Amino acid sequence: MSSDSDRTPINLGDLEGQLFRIPEADLTNLVAELEKRALDRKKAPAVAQVMAKLRPRLAIMKPERQATLVRFFAEPFADLLYTSGEPRKAVGRIPRSTIVPCYKLFLEHADPSRVQRYQDDLEEIEKDNDTALIELGTGFWRYAAGRLREVLAAAERDKTRKRALIESLGDETVFAALIEMVGVLEVAVPVMELRKALPSAGLSQVTNVHLEHICTALNTVHRQRPANTQFVVFVILARLHNPSMIVEIMQRAQEAGTVADVSGITEIANQAIVSQTEEKIRGLEEKIHNSTSGQDLALQTEKFVKDILGAARAVSGSGSRMQNRQVQRTKSEMADLVRREMLEAVDGQVASSLSSLGDPDNGSDPVEAQKAVEDRIVSLMITDRFAEELGLERDVNKRLAELEHNIGAQTEALLSKIRSRNSSALDPGDAQRQLYTQVRMTELLLGPEKANQLRLEGLKLLQEA
């Protein structure tokens, strides 16, 4: 690691801007310090926000993390974790912010000396010794699940104790997450074996080998705890590239002779798909409010739309009418959100930027204006790829046509000024800069052939002038 004297301090306020410039050693130390702070319930929400910004780099770099028992506690349900600023929880997903309060609840009801032995043993195991980790986890996860199940059972028997438990955890979102954490921990070993057997993410094709591991996990959990089979499904869903694949997987599992209740599992899977699809709207809203690039936002939105279409396909054949209506409602909500926040809300800013391009003497920065218009054009082009699915073709086409008209009018006005050969009205240097700006806009809107025609015409007029 670089020394304190020659190291540039990490500005936590601009993590996104410098994320990939932070030295690996410094980032590793930063993550270790954040993990320590996350154990303080008051600091945990702020730490979660910082970790969410670091996650794109961590996914690539995968720095060595501290061998803490709280991370080991969360390992069986790691696939279900997500970052959410919403006071709600999607079915089959667990907000990262709920780990610390639930782990602290476990510590309150655990034997401190036994917990310390688990921590000591964990620190002695090499990080790549999967066999030893599973052996340790077999005892630890069972113990943690047992302690927490007793707390939940007592809360279910007594409404007063349940209210007190929810209050101590923070809210009902954490309580709901606790229930799912315990459910996974109770079947942690078969879940961990399944996680090891499947690709980490983006599973687009389930081979016979994958299916065999899935059936083994389903059968094992069904024999041990039939009610916990749903958590195996949640892990599978988290690994799939397209959630609609779950229906075919369950059909194949049934044909392969699984003893699990396939119809019940499929119903639970559909509930999770619908709930997680609804959560995507909240995620998109958050990204819209935090985004500074229309192009990036359009790309992210396109992915959300694909996920929703996948959910619609998944529940169309096996889901209930209510679930189908929920997915269609979510699709309508997304269309309204895109129209309101990504199209209409930006119209005024784009009009101002266009005005700056047409009148460079109005005091605005022409470079920033050009960037804003370029970003708008590209974002609309991307949005056009999924506009039909959301019923937004007219909205997008209208704005593209307006941009084409305005850019065309500005181009013609510029060429007219050049033809007039009035140097007092237009400096030759400014004329050339404006010409290339219009060429770039034309290229984005109408393609390189039209742009090149404009470039040649404009340069010829400049030479004649």
| pLDDT tens profile 386-416 | 899 889 999 999 999 999 998 999 889 888 8
Q: Which of 47-56, 129-138, 333-342, 429-438: highest mean pLDDT? A: 129-138
Beta-bridge partners for 203: 240
Do the beta carbons of residue 330 and residue 275 sit within 8 Å?
no
Q: What SS3 state is found at 207?
A: coil
User: How much is the pLDDT for 222?
Assistant: 94
What percent of the chain has pLDDT above 90? Answer: 35
- The Cα–Cα gap between 4 and 414 comes to 55
Average pLDDT, the chain: 83
Confidence of residue 180 (pLDDT cuts 50, 70, 90): very high
Mean pLDDT of 195-213: 88
- Residues 250-283 have pLDDT tens digits of 889 999 999 888 888 888 888 787 777 777 777 7
Structure tokens at 191: 């879940």
Question: Would you state the pLDDT for residue 36?
Answer: 66
| pTM recorded for the entire structure | 0.65
Burial of 106 (0-12, 13-18, 19+ CB in 10 A): buried
Model confidence band, residue 5 (pLDDT cutoffs 50, 70, 90): very low
Distance between CA atoms of 233 and 277, rounded to whole angstroms?
Answer: 16
Are the C-beta atoms of 173 and 98 separated by less than 8 Å?
A: yes
Give the pLDDT of residue 34.
74
List phi, psi (to 5°) of 391: 70, 30
Quote the Cα angle for 320-324-325, to 5°: 115
Please say if the pLDDT value at position 37 is more than 60. yes
More confident residue, 266 or 447: 447
The H or E element spanning position 81 is strand 81-82
pLDDT band at 84 (very low <50, low <70, confident <90, very high): low
- 86-134 pLDDT, tens digit per residue, is 556 677 889 888 998 999 999 999 999 999 999 999 989 887 888 999 9
Greater pLDDT, 271 or 317: 271
Which pairs with CB-CB distance under 8 Å and at least 24 residues apart come from 41-48?
A: 41/100, 41/101, 41/104, 41/170, 44/97, 44/100, 44/101, 45/97, 48/83, 48/96, 48/97
* Mean pLDDT of all residues in 358-378: 80
Kindly report which listed range (236-245, 297-306, 340-349, 424-433) carries the lowest average pLDDT score: 424-433
> What is the reported pLDDT for 424?
58
Question: In the prediction, which pLDDT does 169 show?
Answer: 93
Q: What percent of the chain has pLDDT over 70?
A: 83
Whether the pLDDT of residue 13 is over 60: the answer is no
**Which has more confidence, 81 or 35?**
81
